[in-house]
Structure 1
Amino acid sequence: MKRLLTCLLINSAVAMTATAQGHELLVGSYTQGSSEGIYRYRFDSQSGQIEPEPLQVVQSVNPSWLVVSSDRRLLFAVNENGAGHGQVSSFALAPGSGAISPLSRLDSLGDEPTHASLSNDGRYLFVANYAVQPTPGGSLSVLPVAADGRLLPVVQQERHPPSYVNPERQSGSHVHAAVSSPDGRYLYACDLGADKVFIYRYDSANPERPLSPARPAAVNLPPGSGPRHLVFAATGKQAYLTLEMSAEVVVFDVQDGVLIERQRLPLSDSQAPASKAAGALHLSPDGRFLYVSNRGTANELLVFAIDSALGTLTPLQRRSVEGDHPREFSLDPSGGYVLVANQKSNQIVVIQRDRHTGLLGKTVQKLAQDAPSDLKFVN
């Protein structure tokens, strides 16, 4: 009896250790090639390996950006299609197994939806319709989310005037991201075509128009810089923004929803336009480091140390992504690895990360994946 009990305890401990080390990874991708849409993988944070055989493949057209609800019950994906065919999809995530089941798919009322986020209370999905063509241009769409996770038709849509600084890329609005403040009181829409981040107040008590312009209604960025993605420190006191076209990262102090620029740093040593294509940015789990991707001919990840008092950045490292066009990347839940979605070289590259110094080390895996565009961990 004692031996049996010992065996049961050992098996239970092994199972718990395996669960602690393993995480589910969701991959969104472009489907013009061989990709079928959304891929669900198992990632081992002990070895840094993605199991090559996916747990599940969900057919979805160009699910280029994924959103997982805070309770891990729902998954949302933008379907990045043009010519008036942009859509957004919602899925149920089965408790325990993590299996994905489709719930709904609706029009986003814009072209090329490229980013989305949930309001902190989970009642609305904010969708950034990028829109490659200047007419009608990009927009911010607001879709209610029903209690069962199904999306309801757009209730509000906002459009912004472009800057026209770069005739090829800024003759129309191009909303690239929609990000809520940590307290959920504000929504920030990064508009590459306007050279502005637009700021909205969020009010769930107004179901027909939950967003209204804040005061000030926007923060101006340098002409032709092209704001792309924004991330907030956990405290909400600082925010960090990539400027895609000028390849820079901006540090803001945040006061009552207002973004006040404190620092701006270049991501590229070259002045060649081809080397300037800033992309994603993410904070380390402990908030001590910021990671930023620069695509184009650079194809690098940059590592910055964050001053604990001021939130300002100090450059630490440049590191090749060993691929082409790192559209997105993600730090695994353990903080020991960075996974990079190299869209144009059709691979997910896993790189070791030192949790103490923040520095990136050796590459531990290159997994073939057609046109990966987003990476999200579920647990």
Structure 2
Amino acid sequence: MNRIYIHLLSTGLMSLTLHSHAATLLVGSYTDGDSHGIYRYHFDPTQGQIDATPLQVVRAANPSWLVLSEDQRQLYSVNESRSGQVSSFAIGKDGALRSLGTIASQGGEPTHASLSRDQRYLFVANYGAKAPGGSLVALPVRRDGTLTRATQDLRHAPSKVNAERQTEAHVHSVVLAPDGRHLYASDLGADKVFIYRYDGANDTQPLSSAPTASLALPAGSGPRHLQFDAKGKHAYLTLEMLGEVAMLTVKPDGQLTLDQRLPLTEQTDPAFKGAGGLHLSADGRFLYVSNRGQANQIVVYRVHADDGRLTLLQRRSAEGEHPREFAVAPDGHFLLVANQHSNEIVVIRRDPREGTLGEVVQRLEQPAPSDLKFIE
């Protein structure tokens, strides 16, 4: 009997699933309406349930993107406003957040940030909706987790292809390669991904342009978010304005080549094209991409192990409006969607083996959610 039971478990023929321990969910949001800032929730991975009552609410202005330090003891949030700020927090052993202060991002509408591998710098993408446009800045991080004034402020030339959205540069994300030696800035206004070398020992100018300084993308495509696979051999990029996802190959010197482009929707109407966030599954076998606008979907792709190319598996409703961000739960059995305009977090069951998304298991009212991060 025991042998049969073990065999059934190993072949997946039984419905019994082992889940990891409970996790803490952090939710960033837009505070122009009813939201107050950053919300901390308890998440039960056994049932895929977020407790309705938050463990903590931290008041902050438009904390639209959250960044956790490698040891999960510090949290940083961009404060997406015209003036532009970044806030830092200490995370206690009980998970509670304690403010460490706020500093200027030296640009308007910061939308994204990432930490260097050595945790010495926080790089911030200032979108800059109005003139003079966006920028990439480097904020030094002190040993206590607090931030100091930016040492670098880098700006790009816009493509000016789209008269409404590309008259200025708009840096939408900044991402370090897994090796920690190169940083990539996706600029929606320039139609390029800019490539920088990182030198943590340089206290004034940690970033310098790589020999191949950028990857040019299709005119009017609007690059948004970028993610590397675990080995740093391939990367995936959302082209917001075209409603596409691109697969890139990474050369040893950090150079990128564009090898594949796939549409997120079969619709030709631009109203259905609003590529947003993207995330690989923990095992790297599947890629998930949000498409906003009138599509409001999560699109699932299989990642081919040999060359990193993508094959469409599923287009799944996001069950709400404007899925700005989403996150796969730590044990891989659920996908959580932050539907910004319908003021809701939706928990959808996920098949870790097949990668596909199934039934909705929870809808949690949450004003204007914009980002989701787990603390394990």
Report the TM-score range of the alignment, normalised by the length of the smaller protein: over 0.9
Take 1:264 and 1:277, find their aligned partners in 2: how far apart are those partners?
15
Q: 1:14-42: CA deviations, max 9, x gaps? A: xxxx9943100000000011111000000
Q: Counterpart amino acid of 2:89?
A: F
Out of 155, 159, 163, the residue aligned to residue 163 of structure 1 is: 159
Corresponding residue number in structure 1 for 2:11? none
Corresponding residue number in structure 2 for 1:142? 138
The reply to whether residue 31 of structure 1 matches residue 27 of structure 2 is no
Corresponding residue number in structure 2 for 1:210? 206
The reply to whether residue 254 of structure 1 matches residue 250 of structure 2 is yes
Corresponding residue number in structure 1 for 2:44? 44
Corresponding residue number in structure 1 for 2:241? 245
Out of 343, 354, 357, the residue aligned to residue 360 of structure 1 is: 357
Q: Greater shift after overlay, 219-228 or 257-266? A: 257-266
Q: Is contact 2:140-2:147 (8 Å) kept? A: yes
Alignment coverage as a number of residue pairs: 358
Structure 1 residues 157 and 264, CA, compared in 2 at 3 Å: closer, same or farther?
Answer: same
Take 1:241 and 1:147, find their aligned partners in 2: how far apart are those partners?
33
Take 1:154 and 1:234, find their aligned partners in 2: how far apart are those partners?
29
Instruction: Give, in angstroms, the shift of residue 378 of structure 1.
Output: 1.0
The reply to whether residue 86 of structure 1 matches residue 106 of structure 2 is no
Corresponding residue number in structure 1 for 2:373? 376
Q: Is contact 2:19-2:331 (8 Å) kept? A: no
Take 1:273 and 1:101, find their aligned partners in 2: how far apart are those partners?
43
SS at match of 1:274: helix
Q: 1:164-187: CA deviations, max 9, x gaps? A: 000000000000000000010000
Q: 1:246-265: CA deviations, max 9, x gaps? A: 01111011112111111111
Out of 301, 326, 338, the residue aligned to residue 335 of structure 2 is: 338
Q: Is contact 2:19-2:46 (8 Å) kept? A: no
Take 2:211 and 2:347, find their aligned partners in 1: how far apart are those partners?
42
**Structure-to-structure mapping, 1:53-92, within 5 angstroms:** 53-82=53-82, 85-92=83-90
Q: Is contact 2:247-2:308 (8 Å) kept? A: yes
Corresponding residue number in structure 2 for 1:120? 117
Corresponding residue number in structure 2 for 1:189? 185
The reply to whether residue 173 of structure 1 matches residue 166 of structure 2 is no
SS at match of 2:271: helix
Take 2:203 and 2:268, find their aligned partners in 1: how far apart are those partners?
47
SS at match of 1:21: coil
Take 1:215 and 1:98, find their aligned partners in 2: how far apart are those partners?
43
Q: 1:254-306: CA deviations, max 9, x gaps? A: 11211111111111111111111000000001100000000000000000001
Instruction: Give, in angstroms, the shift of residue 87 of structure 1.
Output: 0.1
Q: 1:304-361: CA deviations, max 9, x gaps? A: 0010111000000000011000000000000000000000000000000000000000
TM-score (norm 1): 0.94
SS at match of 2:53: coil
Take 2:21 and 2:269, find their aligned partners in 1: how far apart are those partners?
43
Take 1:271 and 1:278, find their aligned partners in 2: how far apart are those partners?
14
Take 2:210 and 2:319, find their aligned partners in 1: how far apart are those partners?
42
The reply to whether residue 236 of structure 1 matches residue 268 of structure 2 is no
Instruction: Give, in angstroms, the shift of residue 375 of structure 1.
Output: 0.1
Q: Is contact 2:191-2:223 (8 Å) kept? A: yes
Instruction: Give, in angstroms, the shift of residue 206 of structure 1.
Output: 0.9
Q: Counterpart amino acid of 2:368?
A: A
Q: Is contact 2:186-2:193 (8 Å) kept? A: yes
**Structure-to-structure mapping, 1:290-329, within 5 angstroms:** 290-329=287-326
Q: Is contact 2:42-2:51 (8 Å) kept? A: yes
The reply to whether residue 223 of structure 1 matches residue 208 of structure 2 is no
Structure 2 residues not aligned, in runs of 5+: 1-17
SS at match of 2:95: coil
Q: Is contact 2:20-2:46 (8 Å) kept? A: no
TM-score (norm 2): 0.94
Q: Is contact 2:169-2:188 (8 Å) kept? A: yes
Take 1:121 and 1:271, find their aligned partners in 2: how far apart are those partners?
44
Take 2:72 and 2:235, find their aligned partners in 1: how far apart are those partners?
25
Corresponding residue number in structure 1 for 2:284? 287
The reply to whether residue 106 of structure 1 matches residue 107 of structure 2 is no
Q: 1:202-241: CA deviations, max 9, x gaps? A: 0011110000000100000000000000000001000000
RMSD over equivalenced CA pairs, Å:
1.0
Take 2:278 and 2:20, find their aligned partners in 1: how far apart are those partners?
26
The reply to whether residue 349 of structure 1 matches residue 342 of structure 2 is no
